[in-house]
Structure 1
Amino acid sequence: MTVSQIKSGHDAGRRFGVRISVRPLVRSLVRPFPHLLPARLVSLAALACGLCAPGLAQADYRVRVDAPKDIAKLLKDNLDVVRFAPRDDIGDAQFEHIVATIGEQVQELTSTEGYFSPVTHVDVATINGKRDVDIKVDAGPRTHIKDVDLKFTGPVAEQDPQRVEQLRNAWELPVDAPFRQSDWDKAKNDTLFQLGQKRYHAAKMTFSRAVVDADNDAASLAATYESGPPFTLGPLVITGTRRYPAQIIRNVNPLSEGEAFDADRLQELQRQIQATPYFSNVIISVTEDPSKAELAPVEVKVREFPTHRVQSGVGYTTDTGASVNGRYSYYNLFGKAWTFDSQARLEQYRQGGYAEIGMPPDESAYTNSLRGAFDRTYLNGLDQRSTQVGIKRARSRERYDWAYTLDFYRTDERPDGGERFLNKALVPAFSWNRRDVDDLIFPRKGNIINTQLGFAAKPLLTDQSFARLYGRIRQYFPVGQRDLVLARLELGAVLTNGNSNRIPSSLLFFAGGTSSIRGYTYQSIGRQQNGTTFPTKYLATASLEYQRWVTRDWGGAVFWDVGTATDDYRHPTPLYHGVGFGVRWRSPVGPVNLDLGYGVHDRRFRPSISLGVAF
């Protein structure tokens, strides 16, 4: 890149626009601006000489910078006379040299913001034995873009004219926009980045120029990009595997040999590999050698997790209280990369654990597993003890998950002062999830959908025949630069003849709690009988929330939740409303929500705490 200033007939004083007036008994100090290498070397040499003669050093001085708002901070942060002000080891010669270069530094600094004709006044005086440096800067008119000449050469110009037009339309410095050096650099680099993201992996910028006519306050920009040949993806070249077979990576690979190079697709491959439990780090690269553009090898470098992993933690939720949990995983069972995963969890109102043995992904990227789980809760007068054993065949892609399961459920329900129920069911089921959001950790736009479908038929290890349907959607709507509106809808139904007394309670529905209807205790909304809350056949909840973000990481929210859980949708129980407000924090481990909800039905305030995004 070259920057030219067209200033015919300007002398040195006019060029730098500097006027320095020095009152009697004045001394000055300057440190060279980083962009002016010769001046910096001179100042450093002068400063070094001054330090070698400490007897000549003077006390520090005061600086005042009077400049337009859009350049004032730039000058205060970068002018050497400001940065050296706290020092007391500057001699008279160094001070005078720094003052003498103030105008040159102002010129260089303001030019990065598009001001090429600043006029600088420097007044130095000694008052009561202390030196004052008064700097006044008239920035002058700002330079604007007069014309832009973007050229694209190579195959992209002939084979993909629509792509060229898209890149031209996406150019970030249009005609009449203010010229700033940082914007110019960013516009060039962003265009090159976008060109190289798809197909043209070896794209490069062969020419760039910004010609600034300071007399007319106009800038002419030009850049030329060479696309290079279109790249297609070839076979995987995998390195770094020792404990686990490389075939695992090939099985989860979403790429096809011969498909066009796409950086987003390579990131998808990276995420698919990291979604397995075997690899802690994954680096994907493709050569930029134009001679290898056709079927370019995809290099995959991995670092493996150890075969054993032990985890533990403590926590707290307003739903189930304080908790402690431990987890043990082994990733090379039978020496065939089968996984064993187990976890135990103890909470105030809930205890449970699970164990699962899984096979590595097969050639269709499906994983098969055998699992078992136990869960006990004691809430709202009902002691529930649930056991689940089953098999699962699941597959996960970039934004979709789906699973086929066959599970045997057995529940032991012990209501306070009531009759004990022992129920069982064998349930084949299918689940499908989609995550179509702009950011999986901190979403602002898009939606997350969860669906489940299952059934059970008596007498196949089942006490009562039924079909079970469940769906949940969270929709995110961005508002302005930071804010958002979050809408949620949740529906569930268990279709059966008669009541649900012989259906395992873990397959029925409650409402209330942090992720349901705030302002009510966890699982407190259901069928009420003798002071005990029982699960129901139907569920419907909804929520509307507005989040106002004050900074990037901190914000507030107001919300309204509504819904019910009932056994008769034709004559439902009253709707339960919850309203309130809360604090939002984008923490290093994910979103943290602290809410205070008011349950309109119960006329009580209840706090709630949640961590993460519900998938």
Structure 2
Amino acid sequence: MSFCILRSTTIIPAPARWAALLLFNALSLQACSLLPRADKPDPAHADLAATAAPAFAVELRAPDDVREVLERHLELLRFRHLSDLQRNELQRLLGAVDANARELLGTMGYFAPEITVESSQTPDSQEAPRTVVISVQTGAQTRIASADIAFAHGARAVDDAESRAQQRVRRNWSLAPGQPFTQSAWEAAKNDGLRQLQARRYPTARIVDSQAEIDADQHQARLNVTYDTGPAYRFGPLRLEGSQRYAPDGARRLARLPTGADYDEARMLDAQQRLASSGYYDSVFLTLDTEGSDPQAAPVVAQLREARLQKLVFGPGFSTDGGARLSLEHMHNRLPGLGWRAVSKLALERQAQSAGTEWTALPEDDGWRWFAGARLQREVNGDYDVDSARLRTGRSQSTQNIDRNYFLQYDAANSKSHNRQGLAAIPDSTAVSANYGWTGRYFNNPTAPTSGHGVALELGLGSTLRPKRDLFLRTLARWQSFIPAGRVQDAAGKGRNARVALRAEAGAVLARADAPIPETELFLTGGDTTVRGYGYHSIGARTGDGQLHGGRYLAAGSLEWQRPIVYRGALSDWESTLFIDAGAVADRWGRGALRPLVGLGAGLRWRSPVGPLQTDLAYGLRARKLRLHLRLGFSF
């Protein structure tokens, strides 16, 4: 019985810096995309192959997956295009083939292969004067017999939390008995267990020892790995480096890092993301300081590069809903005397032109912040050009999954028909309302979700002011869910879930029939994000003479099947989709009032770094025409 022991002892550098390593790895992966693929020949070798007569040809006789690895890494193949290769050097290379091939096959779990190497003269061959034939019979692949996962404690007592962490590593161990053994899978299993420990409570966990005992006769592998969790850590105070322009207390309230809570890498990265997206900092980098003497109050170091006090942004754009778009945005991060941020924006496009400003205070300790805003807008709403003004002030709070806000709002709207001049079907109106909004997002990814759901509710109680006073109640509910629908795998076993995306939206404005509700409080639908196959805001209610305008009741929904695309045997970043949308708007509720307009079609999705790029071709059954819809990113 023959044994081979693969042993490694790994010392992990202070995982207190794990966030740094995570960022570095992400950047490295991006950089790696610029490197030549491993399965492609080096350009220099390609030039040599094109210009030099080969010294010998190589014929590999082996199973497909094994042959691909040998063709890519076998040392002999690197020298076949050297036309001046000496005979004694070739003999040395041929003598090393067996050991070289066995080493490569061992990484794939084949420890008892049969390898033969034959060399013969081929003077009449047009390819090379000599041919080397390498025949490989892999034999049975080694499989996992057992996996012993141990933990070193020293003199430290094990509490319940550490015991649960150990059980989690054992429960999630990826190399179960019976599975094939490969070196890459073995390394991945060990590192995955380490990552599970380092991600929560134990940032300084490390691998003390690991070994794989290989029984080549029985084709079995016995795995042993020992982890040392190290001490449990808790978040200490946030320590800022590079803060000059903005108050340190503001950064602490923006980060919302729970001082005294168990270390959690995900919570620290969330705090880093909140700071980075706040607009006050151009770059943010958080690390846990594990060099101190008290792991129960380890400081979190925030390395900051502050944003400029003022910023001006000019942005061109295009959408199939609104056409070409230009925007000019000015941001002031600390208004004199108030300390709030002011974002003022001018936007021009075919369907709407607007100018507005939004002022927000820094969040308080509980996460709530004050805000105020004003907006002037001219927009095409159905068959009407609507000039509107809006004032709003209130408070908002954003947590990990939930956004809340409550505010007072003033609306004024002036509607003019752009189809029939002089028609005064909708009176000018103003209104004031008190509103509350709640949005819960429970997606697995905020920018490109593949599972999870979101729910949003809006409720407003108000009164019209002009031309007469009437109470009204406005409510809107939205829901979206992604449901896995099978798994798509490529030839290498890499896979991604297909899914069904469901979306529903319903709204109502309850008031007396003759209440003059501002057009900006009513509903229209249709376009890229609602009912595809129809133009932007082309689905609404109708006046007595057929003019399209905002209605008091809304119902819309969508059913979409999204499936990853496998191209040339490899899983790509593209997905195909089939969908059906439906939506209806009316001024009254009852049988036959909400008659849905239906659109159906197909599209493509590209998983870009900033979210899915969506291209859809939809046919509106009522409109009887095809429409192209383009959209970048996901929002709920």
> Which category of TM-score, normalised to the shorter sequence, fits these structures?
0.7 to 0.9
Is the aligned partner of 1:553 residue 2:573?
yes
Aligned with residue 608 of structure 2, among 587, 603, 612: 587
The Cα shift of 1:82 comes to 2.0
The Cα shift of 1:573 comes to 3.6
Is the aligned partner of 1:498 residue 2:513?
yes
Aligned with residue 539 of structure 1, among 554, 565, 569: 554
CA contact (8 A) 2:430 2:466 kept: no
Is the aligned partner of 1:78 residue 2:64?
no
The Cα shift of 1:554 comes to 0.7
Give the aligned partner of residue 520 of structure 1. Answer: 534
Give the aligned partner of residue 100 of structure 2. Answer: 105
* 3-state SS, counterpart of residue 387 of structure 1: strand
The Cα shift of 1:58 comes to 7.3
Range 487-496 or range 246-255, more displaced: 246-255
CA distance in 2, matches of 1:457, 1:430: 16
The Cα shift of 1:74 comes to 0.9
* 3-state SS, counterpart of residue 167 of structure 2: helix
CA distance in 1, matches of 2:75, 2:311: 54
Give the aligned partner of residue 597 of structure 1. Answer: 618
Amino acid of the structure 1 residue aligned with 2:614 = N
Deviations 1:80-129 (A, max 9, x none): 22233344454434333222211111011000011011222222233226
**Whose Rg is larger?**
1
Is the aligned partner of 1:471 residue 2:477?
yes
CA contact (8 A) 2:53 2:81 kept: no
| TM-score normalised according to structure 2 size | 0.84
Range 76-85 or range 285-294, more displaced: 285-294
CA distance in 2, matches of 1:611, 1:149: 48
Task: Decide whether aligned partners of structure 1 residues 411 and 83 sit closer, same or farther in structure 2, where only a CA change above 3 A counts.
Answer: farther
Q: Please show how residues 300-379 of structure 1 align to structure 2 within 5 Å.
A: 300-334=302-336, 337-378=339-380
* Unaligned runs of at least 5 residues, structure 2: 6-51, 488-495, 566-570
Is the aligned partner of 1:456 residue 2:488?
no
The Cα shift of 1:356 comes to 2.0
Is the aligned partner of 1:439 residue 2:445?
yes
Amino acid of the structure 1 residue aligned with 2:317 = G
The Cα shift of 1:583 comes to 1.3
* 3-state SS, counterpart of residue 164 of structure 1: helix
CA distance in 2, matches of 1:434, 1:399: 6
The Cα shift of 1:299 comes to 1.6
Aligned with residue 522 of structure 2, among 497, 508, 531: 508
CA distance in 1, matches of 2:428, 2:510: 20
Give the aligned partner of residue 635 of structure 2. Answer: 614
Deviations 1:521-549 (A, max 9, x none): 11111122334211100100011000111
Give the aligned partner of residue 40 of structure 1. Answer: none
Is the aligned partner of 1:236 residue 2:238?
yes
Is the aligned partner of 1:577 residue 2:578?
no
CA distance in 2, matches of 1:461, 1:66: 89
CA contact (8 A) 1:200 1:230 kept: yes
CA contact (8 A) 2:354 2:375 kept: yes
Give the aligned partner of residue 159 of structure 1. Answer: 160
The Cα shift of 1:410 comes to 0.8
Give the aligned partner of residue 490 of structure 2. Answer: none
Is the aligned partner of 1:147 residue 2:146?
yes
The Cα shift of 1:454 comes to 1.0
The Cα shift of 1:182 comes to 1.0
Give the aligned partner of residue 260 of structure 1. Answer: 262
Give the count of matched residue pairs. Answer: 563
CA contact (8 A) 1:245 1:337 kept: no
CA contact (8 A) 1:59 1:89 kept: no
The Cα shift of 1:213 comes to 1.4
CA contact (8 A) 1:408 1:424 kept: yes
CA distance in 2, matches of 1:482, 1:86: 44
* 3-state SS, counterpart of residue 267 of structure 2: helix
* 3-state SS, counterpart of residue 268 of structure 2: helix
The Cα shift of 1:314 comes to 2.3
Deviations 1:182-214 (A, max 9, x none): 111111111111122222222222121111111
Task: Decide whether aligned partners of structure 1 residues 193 and 308 sit closer, same or farther in structure 2, where only a CA change above 3 A counts.
Answer: same
Range 556-565 or range 290-299, more displaced: 290-299
Is the aligned partner of 1:69 residue 2:69?
no
Give the aligned partner of residue 116 of structure 2. Answer: 121
* Unaligned runs of at least 5 residues, structure 1: 7-56
Range 159-168 or range 293-302, more displaced: 159-168
Deviations 1:490-545 (A, max 9, x none): 01111111145x11111100122121111111111112233421110010001100
* 3-state SS, counterpart of residue 333 of structure 1: coil
The Cα shift of 1:156 comes to 7.4
The Cα shift of 1:589 comes to 2.8
CA contact (8 A) 1:426 1:460 kept: no
CA distance in 1, matches of 2:632, 2:482: 17
* 3-state SS, counterpart of residue 258 of structure 1: coil
Give the aligned partner of residue 192 of structure 1. Answer: 194
CA distance in 1, matches of 2:366, 2:280: 18
Aligned with residue 179 of structure 1, among 178, 181, 200: 181
Amino acid of the structure 1 residue aligned with 2:172 = A
The Cα shift of 1:228 comes to 2.0
Range 576-585 or range 363-372, more displaced: 363-372
The Cα shift of 1:335 comes to 7.5
Task: Decide whether aligned partners of structure 1 residues 90 and 482 sit closer, same or farther in structure 2, where only a CA change above 3 A counts.
Answer: farther
CA distance in 1, matches of 2:470, 2:278: 38
Aligned with residue 203 of structure 2, among 183, 201, 204: 201
* 3-state SS, counterpart of residue 332 of structure 1: coil
The Cα shift of 1:366 comes to 2.5
* 3-state SS, counterpart of residue 553 of structure 1: strand
CA contact (8 A) 1:469 1:493 kept: yes
Amino acid of the structure 1 residue aligned with 2:518 = P
Give the aligned partner of residue 489 of structure 1. Answer: 504
Task: Decide whether aligned partners of structure 1 residues 378 and 294 sit closer, same or farther in structure 2, where only a CA change above 3 A counts.
Answer: closer
Aligned with residue 273 of structure 1, among 269, 275, 294: 275
Task: Decide whether aligned partners of structure 1 residues 301 and 209 sit closer, same or farther in structure 2, where only a CA change above 3 A counts.
Answer: same
Task: Decide whether aligned partners of structure 1 residues 393 and 118 sit closer, same or farther in structure 2, where only a CA change above 3 A counts.
Answer: same
CA distance in 1, matches of 2:469, 2:90: 93
Give the aligned partner of residue 408 of structure 2. Answer: 406
